[in-house]
Chains A and B, each alone.
Chain A
Amino acid sequence: MAAAGAVARRRGPPVYSQKNITSKKKYDFEDILEERRKASDLRYAMKCYTPVVYKELSPCKPSAIKTVVLQSEQVQYVVRQLSKETGESPDIIQEEAAEILDEMGHSMHMGAIRFFAFTLSKIFKCLFRSICVNEDGMQKLQQAIQEHPVVLLPSHRSYIDFLLLSYVLYTYDLALPVIAAGIDFLGMKIVGELLRKSGAFFMRRTFGGNKLYWAVFAEYVKTVLKNGYAPVEFYLEGTRSRTAKTLNPKFGLLNIVMDPFLKREVFDIYLVPISISYERVLEESLYACELLGVPKPKESTSGLLKARKILSEDFGSIHVYFGQPLSLRTLASGRINRCPFNLFPRHIPQKPSEEVQEFVSEIAYKMELLQIENMVLSPWILVAVVLLQNLPAIELELLVEKTVWLKNVTQTFGGFLDWPDNLCANKAVRSALALHSNIVSLVNGQVVLNDKEMGPGAPEELVFKQALAILLCGSYRNQLLNIFVRPALVALALEITHSSRKEEIYSNFAFWRDVFSDEFIFFPGIPLKDFEEGCFLLTKCDAVQVTPQQVFVTEKGSVVISFLTAMFRPFVEGYQLICRYLSKEANEAFTEKQFIFGVRSFTSQLLEIGSTQCYEVLSSDMQKNALASLVRLGVVSRRKMNDGFTYSVNKETLNKIAGMLESRIPVRKPMAARL
């Protein structure tokens, strides 16, 4: 523990802010749709748009940027290199590079932007009640854009994230970002081109082996960034989170954008974490289906048109929170040994050193934690949490009462709650239920999940429907898990530890933290700090007392502890079930696909006969995370084959870990005890 402490100290500044800023933040939001409902959209689309620009910007056209990229030493180097390796003439490779760039490059065009400004105004007004933006964040961003190149790092929950963000920036007269988007968008007719003209550039989802692609792509991003031509925007999470849990970060693009600073080609770079929270996510049902193995529809324009029926639905509010721009220079100060950068020509692609990789990873996690911290939570999220602990039905009155209780806990934990203070709790909950009437219904004063609409069917169909409803609901509960995970894992550790000795509790905590580090975001390498943060928050709501040697649950604290444990039970049980599956069924090497299929049929059977209630284990997200976690824990070993990875179980370790996972967790109705 002491060693862990030392590590934490070495890493310098605290990662989790322990101050309660919730109430202050709230009133700074401005609804940008309000203005749109009053004034002409056309005039808005045609408004004079003169964003502030980077102070050292030398203006140039997108085509000029392409030329710069193709002529850059970096790309030229790789072209020559490949020519040497393959014997191909450099001209042909150069041609190829030009093609890649054409496929990828954006061509921001004012006309397209104005088109979007107009149509998006119409669409957003149909779909959403409000789009709330924190104004102080916008001001800071405006300042930042002038000073140094800026990287925008939004959370990713929906396809509309990047349109929304560009729309917000346009509204505030800020420079539109150049956006890294998946190449699948290009498959959409017209829309793909429109997106490109609004500033999107497209990257192939996988280009690991393609050196030329990587070189062109990296140089393109760096050129745009270095010249301060436009803010660069991408998603740390890499893809939309289907579960609303923040996904573990991808480092590729972050590596690229940090490179110009690490090589001192620019003085500094600002990183801006942006949290976009949807009261109701457009793709909510799609995600749930996808998680249950119904394949994701391919992006197509006709698909988009079919989706227009959603225009008649109400998706509530959106909150966009622009975090404080962080100076990469400040973050890197004293962290990076400069020598390696000085000893290597800057234009030759170089694998980042371990030190740099570690730094990049820390930055990525830090930014994601900031995203989580600034994510606005709606009342519905609290309702979903309570509901999932009280299936199949709960009385409305009880639901309201528990929701209000949870609201207080959430605020104590620093959750950024958007609670309608002007409404009584009952109305607030009812309005949340109304907005999500596709998930829940109020029947005779009882709140129930909509899982039986189609009447009785085959058992597997029932299981599927039930799972669908629970996953749908779960995707809202998960938003709370992001910020509850530290105290909740302490709670879990308290429940399974037989003594109150801090050290034992910590070791159990560390175990669960390790197991779940693919599910939730933890700053790498500082479990002790996470533990202390968890204890601190539990102390704050009087659930525990912490002494230098011990942690006690207080009398009234047991309610909190049980509630938190119950919140995370689906994950604990899910992992237990998966281990059980592995010990019983998986005797030979298997692929991930086989694994998912196997777990699914194994657990479906259990659900059908009712021997478990853990529907969430059917989620492919949990299955994949569990597999990754088990690989990390050495339970499953992974081997690279020609056609992907194969896995095999290490029975001995499995038994050990399964034993630890199965540690006694008392099953009782947590809230009943209190009420």
Chain B
Amino acid sequence: MAAAAGGERNGGGSDGAAQRRLRILSGHLHAPPGTQLSANPCRGRAATAPSAASQSRVFPKRRQEILKWNGWGYNDSKFIFNKKGHAEFTGKRYQIGGIVFPLLKEWLEKNLGGSLEHKITPRASLNISEIPPSIASEEFLQDLQMTKIPYSKEAESRVFRAHGHCLHEIFLLREGMFKRIPDVVVWPECHDDVVKIVELACKHSVCIIPYGGGTSVSSALECPPEEKRTIVSLDTSQMNRIHWIDEKNLTAHVEAGIAGQDLERQLGESGYCTGHEPDSMEFSTLGGWVATRASGMKKNIYGNIEDLVVHIKMVTPRGVIQKSCQGPRMSTGPDIHHFILGSEGTLGVVTEVTIKIRPIPEYQKYGSVVFPNFERGVACLREVAKQRCAPASIRLMDNEQFQFGHALKPQVASIFTSLLDGLKKFYITKFKGFDPNLLCVATLLFEGDREKVLQHEKQVYDIAAKFGGLAAGEDNGQRGYMLTFVIAYIRDMGLDYYIIGESFETSVPWDRVLDLCRNVKERIARECKEKGVQFPPFSACRVTQTYDAGACVYFYLGFNYRGLSDPMRVYEEIEMAAREEILANGGSLSHHHGVGKLRKHWLKESVSDVGFGMLKSVKQFVDPNNIFGNGNLL
């Protein structure tokens, strides 16, 4: 899922996920069986020494040491065009490192009017003189120092925490500077540290903005430019321990700053997983998931974050909020967890969470189905949802996205493979009469014990057959899932070639899925034309989650901005228009990215005046002085 939310993005990580990805990637690699790749990202300490002590320092305080300051992901991992003009992925961190994608260039040229000749070379590093100076209150810092909690006023660290991964934020990093950034970054190491920080903030009237993985795509991390108080970025990354694992009740009590990949890896060592895999899971944190109401790829088995949490501890200006027991369900008035879930850092800091865990499944299998067109595909997913037999993950890519995925096919090693590909293509397009410009692909992931998986697989393929679907192999499935975690790296490359892109999502009742997809894409095309975008845009969609009563739909939008004087304004207007269209088609404001500041304009309309008032009054009670002043939601 392209741009990550406060906790959405997929990546190589946990044993389960990493191994799965390894399988995907080795499929592309065609590496000799002897050269078995490690499933763990090569990240030194964490990968090599599974001791509790070293695990607690997965992400360094100076995140810029391993992560890009002006783009997605790790410093050493990115797409480039090599000397031959072929796209290639660098670094050894991911299994696609060093792999060449020969079709990507052509796709870029054909679909976006991109050209290798029109390249922007972004500045290599931050210009320190441009960075707004820290205006941190001295009294606050003195008190903070007394607590011995680590903090820093270093410019790079402050800039790093002034943004998420919205397009305009990344664009600004490359070409400008934020008006307002945090004045100080603090790294609490446990719940009590957070309590102390919040107390000090209240005492000195300081604004706190919690920071987890920094993968927000709702402008949630941006500092309100009009904020005159000291802004403290509270980075939870050092609170990343698993306190306990309760095998009797299958729960784990975890500090909220733990990143998804570390959580899954550490649980994996005991044979467990949470199964929560948002596309941003390499970086996004447990606390971030709670704060944004995150959704994971495999929610069909494990549930979304609200189904997974058993207990939450949050520090607010009024004190600590938590439930008194860990009963699996309660009828004790409105569930206070639901004030916390989706509060987007406006009420306090989530410090500890008890989360459900499951034994790691014995067997995993990818799959894919080709449909003659998107309509048939949606009908099939609807039927699968109706029969409640959705696999761990089932996603339906439209034709545009299928073609995009196709452009990410790695270089083929042998003539035999390319012949096989040719035959497959021939079978589908000529023999079965599928129009290559209409067909679409569903990608599947099954999980469980082997027998059940195979049984389940058959059931789903049988349903698919009723809708004209043809099984299209594991490879296509794997590549589909790969797309979601490399997309953000691809966006960074696009930015070098005047191509800007973003993704957004919604949820919508089943009967409106098709109309919504078609209308939103049409609206995007029309808006681009009206706003003077010189090249036809790339807009594609994907049904990524199925529910009993509807589906989650994910859109990619990208275009070439050559010839536009203010591409960001144009982009924002187009995304606004697309969101208006979504709402007019009965879609929701957001399925899992959250509202942040990007979409708060529509929140009142979405939840009614009274609903909005309820949220406001909760905020008023919990945080009357707006200590948690990131300005999200309300």
Show the binding face of A for B, using Cβ within 8 Å. Answer: 264-265, 267, 338-339, 341-342, 345-347
Contact = CB atoms under 8 A, between A and B. Distances in A.
B130 interface: no
B322 interface: no
Interface stretch (B105-113, B323-331, B386-394, B508-516): B508-516
Nearest to B605: A339
A267 B512 contact: no
Interface in B549-595: 583-586
Interface stretch (B306-314, B358-366, B518-526): B518-526
Contacts of A345: 511
A338 B585 CA distance: 8
A583 B246 CA distance: 93
In the A-B complex, list the 9 residue pairs whose CB atoms are closest, starting with the nearest: A342-B586, A264-B585, A267-B522, A338-B584, A267-B519, A264-B515, A265-B515, A264-B519, A264-B584
Contacts of B586: 264, 338, 341-342
Contacts of B511: 345-347
B463 to A, nearest CB: 21
Which DSSP category, helix, strand, loop or mixed, fits chain A's interface?
A: loop
B76 to A, nearest CB: 45
Contacts of B522: 267
B31 to A, nearest CB: 45
A267 B511 CA distance: 16
Contacts of A338: 583-584, 586
Nearest to B526: A267
Contacts, number: 23
Given A345-B511, A346-B511, A264 B516 contact: yes
A264 B585 CA distance: 6
Nearest to A264: B585
A323 to B, nearest CB: 22
Interface in B581-616: 583-586, 605
Contacts of B523: 267
Interface of B: 511-512, 515-516, 518-519, 522-523, 583-586, 605
Nearest to B585: A264
A265 B519 CA distance: 9
10 contacts: A264-B515, A264-B516, A264-B586, A267-B518, A267-B523, A338-B583, A338-B586, A339-B605, A346-B511, A346-B512
Given A338-B586, A339-B605, 14 more contacts: A264-B512, A264-B515, A264-B519, A264-B585, A264-B586, A265-B515, A267-B522, A267-B523, A338-B583, A338-B584, A341-B586, A342-B586, A346-B511, A347-B511
B525 to A, nearest CB: 10
A341 B518 CA distance: 18
A338 B582 CA distance: 11
A529 to B, nearest CB: 29
Nearest to A342: B586
Contacts of A346: 511-512
Q: Which of A264, A345, A347 has most chain B Cβ within 10 Å?
A: A264
Contacts of B585: 264
A264 B583 CA distance: 11
Contacts of A341: 586
Contacts of A267: 518-519, 522-523
A347 B515 CA distance: 14
B246 to A, nearest CB: 43
A331 to B, nearest CB: 14
B300 to A, nearest CB: 25
Nearest to A265: B515
A338 B516 CA distance: 14
A512 B162 CA distance: 66
Contacts of A264: 512, 515-516, 519, 584-586
A498 to B, nearest CB: 51
A430 B586 CA distance: 63
A342 B516 CA distance: 12
A341 B522 CA distance: 20
Nearest to A338: B584
A314 B585 CA distance: 54
A339 B585 CA distance: 10
Contacts of A339: 605
Contacts of B519: 264, 267
Contacts of B583: 338, 342
A265 B586 CA distance: 11
A136 B570 CA distance: 33
A347 B509 CA distance: 13
A232 to B, nearest CB: 19
A559 to B, nearest CB: 50
A264 B511 CA distance: 11
A341 B587 CA distance: 11
A633 to B, nearest CB: 39
B49 to A, nearest CB: 54
A347 B585 CA distance: 15
A260 to B, nearest CB: 9
B608 to A, nearest CB: 9
B520 to A, nearest CB: 10
B531 to A, nearest CB: 16
A280 to B, nearest CB: 45
A353 to B, nearest CB: 15
Contacts of B515: 264-265
A264 B508 CA distance: 13
A296 B215 CA distance: 75
Nearest to B522: A267
Q: Which of B522, B523, B583, B586 has most chain A Cβ within 10 Å?
A: B586
A338 B512 CA distance: 14
A338 B602 CA distance: 13
A345 B512 CA distance: 10
B519 to A, nearest CB: 5
Contacts of A265: 515
B609 to A, nearest CB: 12
A338 B584 CA distance: 6
A347 B512 CA distance: 11
Contacts of B584: 264, 338
A120 B29 CA distance: 71
Nearest to A262: B584
Contacts of B518: 267
A570 B585 CA distance: 51
A341 B586 CA distance: 8
A342 B523 CA distance: 19
A341 B516 CA distance: 13
A219 to B, nearest CB: 15
A185 to B, nearest CB: 35
B573 to A, nearest CB: 15
A345 B605 CA distance: 20
Nearest to A341: B586
Nearest to B584: A338
A95 B224 CA distance: 65
A317 B605 CA distance: 55
Nearest to B588: A342
A634 to B, nearest CB: 38
Nearest to B514: A265
Contacts of B605: 339
A653 to B, nearest CB: 42
Nearest to B587: A342
Q: Which of A338, A342, A345, A347 has most chain B Cβ within 10 Å?
A: A342
